[in-house]
Amino acid sequence: MASQHAARTHAQASPHSAADSANPDADPAQPGPRRSRPRRAVRPSGGPAKPKTPADTAASDAPSPTASEASASSADSAPQKQPEKAETVTKHPYVALTLQTTGIHPSTGRIVTIDAVAFDNAGDIGQRFHAVLKPDIDAGPHHLHGLTVADIEQAPAFSRILKSLDKLIDGRTLVVHDIPYTWGFIVAEARRAMMTAARQNRARNRGRNKGKRRRQKVGHMPAPVRIIDTLATSYAQGVRSNDVRLRGVAKQNGLAADPKATVERARRPEQETSREETELLIQLYQHQQRGPVRSYAPDDVRADRFGLQRSHVRVDAAEAPVQHHNPGKYEPGKELRRGMEIVVAPEILEDPDTIISALMREELNYSEKLTREASLVVCNVTTDLVGKAMHAQRKGIPLMSDAAFLDALTRIEDPTTARRQPPQKSGGNNQSKSQKRRRRRGGRGRGRRNSGGSAPKNNA
Dump pLDDT digits (tens) for 265-319.
Answer: 888 999 999 999 999 999 999 999 999 999 999 999 999 999 999 999 999 999 9
The CATH architecture of the domain made up of 320-413 is 3-Layer(aba) Sandwich (3.40)
pLDDT of residue 211: 58
170 pLDDT above the threshold of 50: yes
Strands 125-132 and 111-119: antiparallel
Instruction: Name the pTM for this structure.
Output: 0.71
Q: What percent of the chain has a predicted confidence (pLDDT) above 90?
A: 57
185 pLDDT above the threshold of 60: yes
Between 84 and 119, the higher pLDDT residue = 119
60 pLDDT above the threshold of 80: no
Are the beta carbons of 184 and 309 closer than 8 angstroms? yes
438 pLDDT above the threshold of 90: no
- Looking at every residue in the chain, the average pLDDT score rounds to 80
Q: End-to-end CA distance of the chain, in Å?
A: 142
Interatomic CA distance for residues 73 and 67, integer angstroms:
10
pLDDT of residue 323: 84
pLDDT of residue 179: 96
Dump pLDDT digits (tens) for 411-423.
Answer: 999 886 444 445 5
Interatomic CA distance for residues 302 and 114, integer angstroms:
21
**What are the start-end ranges of the E strands in 198-316?**
227-229, 295-296, 301-303, 309-311
101 pLDDT above the threshold of 60: yes
Number of residues assigned to the chain: 460
pLDDT of residue 155: 95
Planar angle of CA 240, 246, 247, nearest 5 degrees: 90
78 pLDDT above the threshold of 60: no
CATH topology (fold) of 82-203+216-295:
Nucleotidyltransferase; domain 5 (3.30.420)
Planar angle of CA 58, 41, 18, nearest 5 degrees: 70
Ordered by start, the domain boundaries in the chain are 82-203+216-295, 320-413
